[in-house]
Chains A and B, each alone.
Chain A
Amino acid sequence: MKQIIELSVNGESSEFAVEPQETLLEALRDRMGLTGTKEGCGTGECGSCTVLIGGKPILSCLTLAVECHKRDIVTIEGIGDGNDLSPVQQAFVDCGAIQCGFCTSGMVLSSEVLLKENPNPQEKDIYKALEGNLCRCTGYNKIIEAVHKASEQMVTEQE
């Protein structure tokens, strides 16, 4: 039976009638056209579908849309400000932390949360924050570099 839900995504709310089995990933991609969130496996193992709910990184492929009623959701489309990239996004571009790009949305979102909670992370903190985001292209080296760079950038901006 369909339920009417209100999804607040990147600060904009809209209502949908969804089946219980519909995942947040499906709602974002198929109903809202927010295809920046990717499905790499559908079973919670790759992190490509990461989005933020209430500021926490979660897997949209294992989240029911009906359970997101009135929750605050942020997707990759909600990071950065219009034409301006966030420091994390900019660092990913500058450091060469992107290759095929399929893991990038999830990587960026996981990194955003990490730096918000821990502006000056150590290597082991980065590992724990990004351990659920698989990347095949980069070997993670430049992603780690980008997180450090974004961290420095954000700390400098705050000073």
Chain B
Amino acid sequence: MENKLDYVGQRIPRKDGPVKVTGRAKYTVDVQLPGMLVGRILRSPHPHAKILNIDVSRAERLKGVKAIITSDDTIGVKHAFVDTPRYPADEPPIAKDRVLFVGEAVAAVAATDADVAEEALSLIKVDYEPLPAVFDVEEAMQPGAPEVHTSHPKVKEPLSNIAGKTESGWGDIKTGFAQADYVREDRFESHLRTHGYLEPQATVASYEPGGKLNVLTSSQGPFFKRAKLAQTLGLPFSRVRVHKAYVGGGFGGKIDLFYHEFCAALLSMKTGRPVKIEASREEIFTAYRHGEPLIIEIKTGVKNDGTLVAQQFRVINKSGAYRGTGVVVIFLAWGFIIGAYRVPNFKYEGYAVYTNNPPRTAQRGHGCPQMRFAVESQLDMIAEKLGIDPLEIRLKNARQAGEILPNGDNVYNCGLTECIEKAAEHTEFKKKYGQARSASPSMGSIRRGIGIGVSAYITGSLIYPNSSSTVIKMNDDGTVTLLTGALDIGQGAETILCQIVAEELKLPMEDIEVIAADTETTPVDIGSWISGNAFVTGNAVRVAGTEVREKLLSIAAEELEASLEDLVLKDKCVYVAGSPSHKLTYQQLVSLSIQKRDGDPIIGEGHWRTVRGEPYHPSLATTKGRWSDSYAFGAQVAEVEVDIETGQARLIRAVTAHDCGFPINPTLVEGQMDGQVSMALGHAFMEEVLMKEGRTLNPSWLDYRMPTIHNTAKSEVIDVITERYEIGRPYRTKEVGEGYVSGILAAIANAVYDAVGVRLYTTPFTPEKILQGLGKLK
């Protein structure tokens, strides 16, 4: 069959564009149900305290209050993002006996309107006994620090508050450093940022007669939410239905089970009425989960020619009051080092450490931007010391196609070298690099600099529910309906999945209906949070499409008395090649299939798994086991301008050369790149959640400075195509939504150095730090 692609690889406008641009797309908060109550959550004012007593009697008497819940109303089952024998769940869905952070839920109310619900909260009397609290992660690790939780029993060092530890290594680290011509040690630190999704979190829960819990919630995947709700509410999975509303962005911030979701569900179960809980923007800033700042210590040994011979890491995750994804990020931090460069002798230790700050969660790139910032900054320092240019040292150590990583993963069609070369060529990197530092002072106060950073990122991983499965069913009129558990959170999941269906069946996009993200009616999906949608769910769709196509062809071959090889799919018809009038429409074929295939209306089913043949995710503690079957690579170049008088820096231009395999939809790929560049420049220059003693000081868009349109950087994207899409064949395309927030952050840091000679070891790169680096602050 010929492989001319009509849909995959095309710039097809997103399927949900028209409903979004006309305001018709319904998000969770837009949903109104008859008799719906409003829920509100009472939160802890203390970073650490014993709960002595909760008195809800006055609140209960308030007119309009329909239910109040505390931990006594729960079944006492804890939950957590990670829930394994080594890392058992540690979070009560509502605080019991003790609160561990400011904002922890202590009680919740359902009432007839928001005013009553809020008044009711003020009438609940909670007696607390404050306990000593700890906020700084390195203080929390000291023996004798206030104990948030007992240190993990398997960690033998005399350290407090250890939520978990990851250890890994290969080669011989001592020999490695002994072989090195140059060894340097540096410490980098990142800061607290929020995800910045525009749609505040909201949940509508409706417990229906017969015992079915219906949940609409702003999430990044309904199956994970169903599992956590069923577990904490004591319901069978089949009695919990979580389904789709449009989602206004996630970036990692909507994965976990949140208080408002649990409380809306339990309040609905108690009252028998629908309950809606919306988080205010301020609550999201003060009590919800932000990203995970890391402290990263690196010791690196190199040969004089720049060859890496040994690298040692000590990473500390500044976790909050519960483990959350803390033990995931210290695993991922390891994972985001191994992909890009070859290092023969390697040692890694990562610690997740409890504090009395609000719990943290995954955030786009999940550790990757922090790690790439550290690794790539140090690499530039090494290169400068050795007198080699930043490109050469990267090219020397870059992984090549077909290399096997220390964990057994194959990088297959790795385009890293080509990415570095193309990004450098496109930006005239060699010509520009180092120019600003030799510039004369007469050029005014602006210095321009250029820098590069690379990244390698997984494409999906083996985390519950571990599989994406899809169904494609043909309709009587020859159109199709795609059933997928995938949730479009803005990245365009539904659009690219439809492009694959369209390609496999040569069917116009508008003839594909999508039913998505419903735990009841759609098959399971890995979710929009592990960078595996295009690869894992995409392949599942492709398989289902293949089955449908084969069924169509089989009937057609029979009816047209032609051999399968001679048949062509086009315009919702199957033709005999070279004889366009000799054809059957899809509509006819569906009808024929029903007649001649025992009623089969033509349904295809497909499933896929991130790493086929591997039963489990690798160990978070030891990193042993295979992890991913497809790695994305990229090189990114940043050009910045720094004002040496005010210290203010800005990103002027970002060039991303990415090996994403092949872009299923180039427009959507560019959209992901642009968004990541913007997020990285926010990370680099302006965004920071300011906290003091566990409390947030800037809980608003005004004082948390996310980029506005004024900060837009020119973003250019170069495709490095390393894979082909062929109809009917598995493909290994790669992620595009997370890795590219990383190389560009590193590139910005290196560009600032190139511009003004100030090496920054901590994010954000504020004007103050830059002026300090320039020796201009008194």
> For residue B679, which residues in chain A have a CB less than 8 angstroms away from its CB?
136, 139
Q: A127-B710, A136-B251, A142-B670 are in contact. Are A99 and B491 (CB under 8 A)?
A: yes
B199 contact set on A, CB distance < 8 A: 38, 40, 100, 102
Question: Which residues of the partner chain A approach B715 to less than 8 Å between Cβ atoms?
Answer: 139, 141
Shortest Cβ distance from B711 into A: residue: A140
Chain A contacts for B11, CB-based, 8 A: 96
- When distances are taken between beta carbons in the complex, the residues of chain A under 8 Å from B713 are 139
Whether B709 pairs with A93 at a CB distance below 8 angstroms is no
- Interface positions, chain B 2-61, Cβ under 8 Å from A, are 11, 13-14, 16-18, 20-27, 29-30, 32
A-B residue pairs in contact (CB < 8 Å), sample of 23? A33-B32, A36-B22, A38-B199, A38-B248, A39-B29, A45-B701, A76-B23, A77-B23, A89-B21, A93-B14, A93-B17, A93-B21, A96-B14, A98-B16, A99-B671, A101-B20, A102-B198, A104-B21, A135-B709, A139-B676, A139-B679, A140-B678, A141-B715
Q: Once bound together, how far apart are the Cα atoms of A108 and B20, in whole Å?
A: 10
Q: A residues within 8 A CB of B247? A: 100
Q: How many residue pairs, one in A and one in B, have C-beta atoms under 8 Å apart?
A: 171
CA distance A139 to B251 in the complex (A): 14
Any A CB within 8 A of the CB of B708: yes
Residues of A within 8 A of B24 (CB): 36, 77
| Contact in complex: A89, B27 (CB < 8 Å) | no
**Number of interface residues, chain A, beta carbon within 8 A:** 53
Contact of B21 among A33, A35, A41, A85 (CB under 8 A): A85
- Please classify the interface of chain A as helix (H, G, I), strand (E, B), loop, or mixed, using the class held by over half of its residues: loop
Judge whether B197 is part of the interface by a CB distance below 8 angstroms.
yes
Q: Which residues of A contact B13 (CB under 8 A)?
A: 93-94, 96
Q: Is the pair A139, B14 in contact by a Cβ cutoff of 8 Å?
A: no
Chain B positions 589 through 619: 1 when the CB is less than 8 Å from some CB of chain A, otherwise 0: 0000000000000000000000000000000
Query: Contacting B709 at CB < 8 Å: which of A37, A95, A98, A126?
Result: A126
Residues of B near A33 (CB, < 8 A) are 32
**With A and B bound together, what is the CA distance between A32 and B24 in angstroms?**
14
Where the two chains meet, the residues of A that have a C-beta atom closer than 8 Å to any C-beta of B are 29-30, 33-43, 45-46, 48, 75-77, 79-80, 85, 89, 92-96, 98-105, 108, 126-127, 130-131, 133-144
A46 to B21, CA, bound (A): 17
B21 touches A92 (CB 8 A): yes
CB proximity of B401 to chain A, nearest CB, Å: 31
Question: Which residues of B are at the interface with A, using a C-beta cutoff of 8 A?
Answer: 11, 13-14, 16-18, 20-27, 29-30, 32, 195-200, 246-249, 251, 280-281, 489-492, 667-668, 670-671, 674-679, 700-702, 706-710, 712-715
CB distance B22 to A96 under 8 Å? no
Partner of A42, one of B249, B281, B492: B281
**Are B701 and A98 in touch, CB under 8 angstroms?**
no
Whether A96 contacts B671 in the complex (CB less than 8 A), given A36-B24, A48-B198, A102-B249, comes out as yes
Chain A residues with Cβ below 8 Å from B14 are 93, 96, 98
20 extra interface residue pairs, beta carbon distance < 8 Å, beyond A99-B492, A127-B710, A139-B678 = A36-B23, A38-B198, A38-B199, A40-B200, A45-B702, A85-B18, A85-B22, A93-B21, A96-B13, A98-B14, A101-B16, A102-B197, A131-B710, A135-B198, A136-B195, A136-B197, A136-B675, A136-B679, A139-B715, A140-B712
Q: What does DSSP make chain B's interface, helix, strand, loop or mixed? A: loop
For the complex of A and B, list the 6 residue pairs with the smallest distance between their C-beta atoms, beginning with the closest: A36-B23, A100-B490, A139-B678, A102-B248, A101-B20, A76-B23
**A39 and B674 in contact (CB under 8 A), knowing A76-B23, A96-B13, A137-B249?**
no
List chain B residues, Cβ under 8 A from A98: 14, 16-17, 20-21
A141 touches B708 (CB 8 A): no
